[in-house]
Amino acid sequence: MRLAMSRAEVGDEQKGADPTVSRLIATVAGLLGKETGIFLPSGTMCNVISVVTHCGRGESVIMETQSHLMRSEAGGLSAITGAVPEVIEGEDGHFTAEQLTRHFQPGSRYTPRTVLVAVEQSCNMAGGTVWPTAKLAQVAACAKSLGMNTHMDGARLFNAVVASGESAKVHCQGYDSVWVDFSKGLGAPFGAVLCGTEEFMSRAWAWKHRLGGAMRQAGMMAAGCLYALENNIERLEIDHANARLLNDGLKRLPFIKVKHDHPESNIVFFNLVGTDLIPETFLKRLLDRGLKIGFVGTGYRAVTYADITAVHINDALQIIASVLDELDEKDLIIPSQTTTGAAPRSCR
């Protein structure tokens, strides 16, 4: 990938004159079945530009409550777009057309008009869950019947493609805007491509420029993304297999409750039970032995990717097992304390 980047033919991306960026856009638009696209530095910028292009200030956008757009973009939705977030409590990150209908508001003297629905494929905070394509199509069709626009955050769309065996086009059919990230499982250092119609993308381009996302010799970065498309999609299956391996190993350990019996893609969530070890302490003990895992509010989160092999997974499981093995009495919740109705220790 580094070699491909160093050899990239480049030009002025702001002027649409970088041949490698143009080739990347045409390739991604083709894969997603959309007219055209724009190259952006990050997925976060794709999301915020999509919302601001679809929605006016004071109009509302519906999304799942744990979505990246809602929780993990430093409030960019409010800070930049002026749109009103309306959240749906989904299941595994998905929601139904029926829920969408219930949250939709046509707008009145009092209520914001709902103009956009955003879905995430796969669902990051739900544990890499994959929307069934039929459900995606139902939500899109329902949104259209209500006169709404549709957006797909496809940060890990190719993980969903590999997990489901269905093409990217099928996943994002019915979605007016959709983007894919190259800096996640696809393993490039940088870059995302947002796609849609010519008309939508020309309005989005103004926001790309306003936010400072119009670039110069970005072909070097686009070459890394093209390399990823050619070489790193099929291998995502290895990441998924490694996530299953990790999950299966975790299920056999004491004090661990995994979120899903079978992870659908490359994300594993788990929690500790029977111990009140706080996340900072647990993570520090793991890190002291060389294992880095995240904690994201709803649980511990481990993500597999190209640099992680099955050997690493076994090492990780051994490290976790050894930390759990060394829990001493003060780390454990004594059953009698939890059954007397006393306040949890952490609240005292």
Interaction site with ligand PLP (CB under 6 A): 42-44, 47, 68, 120, 124, 153, 155, 181, 183-184, 192
Q: List the structure tokens of 274.
A: 């029977």
For ligand PLP, the closer CB: 218 or 277:
218
Q: How far is the CB of 212 from ligand PLP (least distance, A)?
A: 14
Closest to ligand PLP by CB, 79 vs 342, is 79
CA distance 167 to 340: 54
Q: Closer CB to ligand PLP, residue 47 or residue 232?
A: 47
Q: Provide the 10 A C-beta neighbour count for residue 113.
A: 17
CB-wise, 114 or 183, nearer to ligand PLP? 183
CB 181 to ligand PLP: min, Å: 5
CB nearer ligand PLP, residue 59 or residue 120: 120
Q: How far is the CB of 220 from ligand PLP (least distance, A)?
A: 17
- Rounded to a whole number of angstroms, the minimum distance from the CB of residue 280 to ligand PLP is 23
Closer to ligand PLP by CB, 306 or 333: give it. Answer: 306
Q: Minimal distance in Å, beta carbon 119 to ligand PLP? A: 10
What Rg do the C-alpha atoms of the chain give, in angstroms?
22
Residues near 34 by Cβ (< 8 Å), separated by ≥ 6?
Answer: 172, 178, 195, 196, 197
Crossing angle of the two packed helices 310-325 and 279-288, in degrees rounded to 10? 120
The distance of closest approach from Cβ of residue 179 to ligand PLP in the complex, given in angstroms and rounded to an integer, is: 9
Instruction: Decide: 223 and 8 in contact? Cβ < 8 Å.
Output: yes
Q: How many CA atoms lie within 13 A of 89 on its CB side?
A: 0
Check whether the bond before 122 is cis (ω within 30° of 0): yes
Residue by residue, what is the 3-state secondary structure of 79-104? HHHCCEEEEECCECCECCHHHHHHHC
Q: Is 102 exposed, middle or buried (0-12, 13-18, 19+ CB in 10 A)?
A: exposed
Contacts of 119 (CB under 8 A, 6+ apart): 63, 64, 94, 131, 136, 139, 150, 151, 152, 153, 175
Residue labelled with tokens 């890499």: 128
Q: What is the secondary structure of 171-236 as a DSSP string?
A: HHTT-SEEEEESSSTT--SS-EEEEE-HHHHHHHHHHHHHTT---SSTHHHHHHHHHHHHHSSTTH
Contact 3, 220 (CB under 8 A): no
Least Å from the CB of residue 226 to ligand PLP: 17
CB of 125 vs ligand PLP, minimal distance in Å: 8
44 or 133: CB nearest ligand PLP: 44
Which CB sits closer to ligand PLP, 124 or 177? Answer: 124
CA distance 43 to 60: 21
Least distance from C-beta 178 to ligand PLP, angstroms? 12
Pick the closer one to ligand PLP by CB: 59 or 153. 153
CA neighbor of 122 nearest in space, from 36, 240, 222: 240
